[in-house]
């Protein structure tokens, strides 16, 4: 196939493998950063909710509101404060992970069988030992389920940060695609960006699933 | 039997009032459980059994009084350290689903930072003790086990660090009746080896009678209605409440507790095929109690009764003369089973036989009646007449 045929120009892609690699790397970094920070904040908030359950309503309310704000609107709100920077991008990306992560962590911890907690107390676990050795391991499947949704969502959202010049694979879609609609390579750039973003999302999802399976062998084996 | 590895547990005027409730859940409870004995807390639902038990390992803090283990106040240790020294078994078992059977059993040794090889050796030993082959079970997860197997792992886990005291809250409550009986017997055998001091909670009076060296009967509001040996409680209920709680069939329950070996045996008049009738008549006449002789085979196993009618005339007795169907009982049979067998036969005597079926003696229905009227030993170590009013109530 030559550059002259069809909407997809393979030659254009092959010429830009280095760029694609860089964009993919940036995309992964933006995603991982957002999910990790989101996870840490969500853990803190989930533990606070466990300490005083009255906080559940307000915290879920706020993170739900954040989740509902359109991403472009959130950027425009943040730019006057944090400028066109990675901080702006991450604040937006992190806030979209909170609702799902907090909900799943709380739900996961609530789902720990009460008799396991009762037994842990009776055996002489301290509160921290109980959390780390009993509650978190047992909540893991539900937490990882939330993590998978948050990660896939974030991979999609990172493309939008191209609007403030930080798009990862979004650069292909926005800057080389939509904004250069007249270019003969615009379609190729868009398709390439979308395909890589989707592949990344699927890969991340499966990787997390594999991780969860490896960490929770007990959840799979059933009695004969 | 080994020396008791348990420690004395003493409740001294222990009271628990839950916040927001005027009536205490446990009211001024005072009782002492001697080292190596099983004390069963029994009573209707909501009478404060679980609350009383959980105050021992401070899962619930008393609002009054004190509890000592081996003479030491339980408040003198941090709660988590206290709990690591007390075995804990609950009805729902509460095995950790994400840990293997070996890891579950090793939970307390791990909290106590035992060396890995010591923990490993202890784990295998314990699984063995509760009848689970370590090689087969060690690396399985709890959801791969049956309810009964899980309950055994729960007991193994509680015993892991060899605690002097064990708390068990309705440990066999979730197991079906047939398997419960097996687990109870198994646990009693285990206890006769380890001799822990055990506080055992149940709402089932039959389980209390079977498992308890002593029984504390609680009534609503956490009031101790009676604290005594099972035999003494059945013989002399301290109050109308206790009498109703143990049931109208307490006479039968006492029969279930007694064994044939506890009865006075009567020497039988033993007859073998071919013995002379006149000779047998003479021997029967010499016996005050018996009007029957017992025909046995060459191995001393009973064949049947010979009565006066069969002995008329002279000459050798022949085996066909015996009335078959002499009920046999074993020294370990309960009095209830023995009585049942004897009432079903025309001659109200039971033939006690050894493990090979050879005659060891006779017991009578009257002896069982006498047994029920004989004085009973209480927790004070004294013998008390049956029906004697209990001064402590
Ligand atoms: N955590 C609690 N808060 C308030 N009341 C309680 C609590 N636990 C138990 N109770 C009350 O204390 C009483 C005794 O309960 P419990 O010790 O569980 O009884 P049992 O084990 O004999 O059924 C009951 O009336 C019960 O409702
Ligand atoms: Mg209870």
**Which chain A residue lies closest to B56 (C-alpha atoms)?**
A122
Ramachandran region of residue B28, left (φ > 0), alpha (ψ -120 to 50) or beta?
left
Q: Which of B76-85, B183-192, B245-254 is predicted most confidently?
A: B76-85
pLDDT higher than 60, residue A3 = no
* pLDDT score recorded for residue B391: 42
Write down the pLDDT at residue B379. Answer: 85
- Interface touch B88/A123, C-beta < 8 Å: yes
Q: How far is A183 from chain B (nearest CA, A)?
A: 57
**Ligand 1 atom, smallest distance to B19 CA:** 4
Domain spans in chain B, listed from the N-terminal domain onward: 9-256, 261-370
Model pLDDT for residues A62-82, shown as the tens digit of each residue: 999 999 988 888 888 898 998
| Model pLDDT for residues B199-245, shown as the tens digit of each residue | 999 999 999 999 999 999 999 999 999 999 999 999 999 999 999 99
pLDDT confidence tier of residue B178, bands split at 50, 70 and 90: confident
**pLDDT score, position B105:** 98
Q: Which residue has the higher pLDDT, B381 or A54?
A: A54
Q: What is the pLDDT of residues A100-112, one digit of tens each?
A: 999 999 999 999 9
Question: Greater confidence, A122 or B316?
Answer: A122
How many whole angstroms separate alpha carbon B209 and alpha carbon B242? 13
Region B14-39: what's the mean pLDDT? 96
Interval B171-189 mean pLDDT: 89
Q: Cα of B103 to ligand 2 centre, how many Å? A: 28
Can you give the pLDDT at residue B319? 76
Instruction: Report which of B62, B91, B78 is spatially closest to residue A125, judged by C-alpha positions.
Output: B78
> CB neighbours (10 Å) of residue A58?
10
| CATH number attached to the domain at B261-370 | 3.10.580.10
Give B85's DSSP letter. T
- Three-class SS state of B159: helix
**Confidence at residue A178, expressed as pLDDT on a 0 to 100 scale:** 86
Confidence of residue A8 (pLDDT cuts 50, 70, 90): confident
pLDDT band at B1 (very low <50, low <70, confident <90, very high): very low
- % of residues, chain B, pLDDT over 90: 69
pTM reported for the whole predicted model: 0.85
Average pLDDT, chain B: 92
Q: Whose alpha carbon is nearest atom 25 of ligand 1?
A: B46
- Give pLDDT, residue B4: 57
Tell me the ligand closest to B18's alpha carbon: 1
Asked if the Cβ–Cβ distance from B98 to A216 is below 8 Å, we say yes
Which numbered atom of ligand 1 lies nearest the CA of B43? 22
CATH topology of domain A10-216: MetI-like fold (1.10.3720)
* Shortest-distance atom of ligand 1 to CA B45: 23
Dihedral sign for Cα B213, B219, B225, B230, please: negative
Structure token pair of residue B333: 């049979």
Q: CA–CA separation, B167 vs B383, rounded Å? A: 30
Q: Which of B43, B46, B60, B91 to mutate to test the pocket of ligand 1 (most atoms within 8 A of CB)?
A: B46
CATH of B9-256, one of 1.10.10.10, 3.40.250.10, 3.40.50.300, 3.30.30.10: 3.40.50.300
Residue A2 has pLDDT above 70, yes or no: no
CB contact, 8 Å: A125 with chain B? yes
Percent of chain B with pLDDT over 70: 97
**DSSP per residue, B343-357:** HTSSS-EEEEE-TTS
Does the beta carbon of A214 lie under 8 angstroms from any beta carbon of chain B? no
* Nearest by CB: B80 against A124, A221, A222: A124
Residues of chain B with Cβ-Cβ distance to A112 below 8 Å are none
**What integer pLDDT is reported at residue B390 of this predicted model?**
46
Q: What pLDDT sits at residue B22?
A: 87
Q: How far apart are the C-alpha atoms of B175 and B156, rounded to whole Å?
A: 17
**B83 to A121: CB separation less than 8 angstroms, yes or no:** yes
* Per-residue pLDDT reduced to its tens digit, B54-78: 999 999 999 999 999 999 999 999 9
Residues of B in contact with A142 (CB under 8 A): none
For chain A, the average pLDDT equals 91
Which residues of chain A lie closer than 8 angstroms to B102, CB-CB? none
- Nearest ligand, CA B29: 1
Model confidence at A222: pLDDT above 80 = no
């Amino acid at each position: 196939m030559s550059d002259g045929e069809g909407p997809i120009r393979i030659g254009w892609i092959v010429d830009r493998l280095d760029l694609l690699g860089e964009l993919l790397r940036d995309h992964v970094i933006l995603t991982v950063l957002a999910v990790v920070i989101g996870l840490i904040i969500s853990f803190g908030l989930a533990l606070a909710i466990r300490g005083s359950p009255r906080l559940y309503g307000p915290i879920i309310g706020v993170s739900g509101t954040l989740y509902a704000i359109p991403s472009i609107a959130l950027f425009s709100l943040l730019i006057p404060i944090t400028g066109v920077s990675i901080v702006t991008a991450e604040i937006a990306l992190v806030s979209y992970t909170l609702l799902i992560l907090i909900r799943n962590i709380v739900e996961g911890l609530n789902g720990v069988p009460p008799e396991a907690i009762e037994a842990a107390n009776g055996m002489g676990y301290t509160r921290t030992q109980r959390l780390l050795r009993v509650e978190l391991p047992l909540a893991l499947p539900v937490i990882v389920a939330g993590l998978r949704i948050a990660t896939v969502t974030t991979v999609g959202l990172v493309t939008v940060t191209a609007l403030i010049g930080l798009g990862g694979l979004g650069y292909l879609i926005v800057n080389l695609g939509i904004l250069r609609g007249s270019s003969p390579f615009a379609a190729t750039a868009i398709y390439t960006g979308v395909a890589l973003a989707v592949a990344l999302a699927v890969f991340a999802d499966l990787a997390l699933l594999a991780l969860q399976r490896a960490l929770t062998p007990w959840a799979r084996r059933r009695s004969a | 039997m080994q020396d008791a590895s348990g420690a004395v547990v003493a409740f001294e005027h222990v009271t628990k009032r839950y916040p927001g409730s005027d009536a205490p859940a446990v009211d001024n409870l005072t009782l002492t459980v001697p080292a190596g004995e099983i004390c069963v807390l029994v009573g209707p639902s909501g009478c404060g059994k679980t609350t009383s038990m959980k105050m021992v390992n401070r899962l619930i803090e008393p609002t009054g009084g004190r509890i000592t283990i081996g003479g030491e106040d339980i408040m003198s240790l941090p709660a988590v350290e206290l709990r690591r020294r007390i075995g804990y078994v609950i009805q729902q078992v509460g095995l950790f689903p994400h840990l293997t059977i070996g890891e579950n059993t090793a939970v307390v040794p791990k909290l106590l930072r035992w060396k890995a090889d010591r923990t490993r050796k202890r784990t295998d030993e314990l699984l063995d003790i509760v009848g689970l082959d370590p090689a087969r079970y060690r690396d399985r997860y709890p959801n791969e086990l049956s309810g009964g197997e899980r309950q055994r792992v729960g007991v193994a886990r509680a015993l892991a660090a060899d605690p002097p005291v064990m708390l068990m809250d309705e440990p066999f409550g979730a197991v079906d009746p047939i398997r419960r009986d097996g687990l109870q017997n198994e646990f009693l055998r285990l206890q006769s080896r380890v001799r822990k001091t055990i506080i055992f909670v149940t709402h089932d009076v039959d389980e209390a009678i079977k498992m308890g060296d002593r029984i504390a009967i609680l009534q609503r509001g956490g009031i101790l209605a009676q604290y005594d040996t099972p035999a003494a409680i059945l013989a002399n209920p301290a109050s109308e409440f206790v009498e109703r709680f143990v049931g109208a069939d307490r006479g039968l329950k006492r029969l279930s507790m007694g064994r044939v070996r506890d009865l006075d045996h009567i020497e039988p008049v033993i007859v073998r095929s071919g013995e002379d009738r006149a000779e047998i008549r003479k021997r029967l006449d010499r016996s005050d109690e018996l009007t029957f002789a017992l025909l046995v085979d060459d191995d001393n196993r009973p064949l049947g009764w010979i009565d006066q009618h069969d002995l008329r005339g002279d000459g050798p007795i022949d085996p066909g003369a015996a009335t078959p169907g002499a009920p046999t009982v074993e020294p370990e049979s309960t009095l209830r089973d023995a009585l049942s067998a004897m009432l079903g036969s025309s001659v109200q005597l039971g033939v006690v036989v050894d493990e090979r079926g050879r005659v060891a003696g006779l017991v009578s229905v009257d002896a069982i009646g006498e047994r029920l009227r004989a004085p009973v030993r209480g927790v004070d170590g004294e013998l008390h007449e049956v029906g004697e009013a209990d001064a402590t109530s």
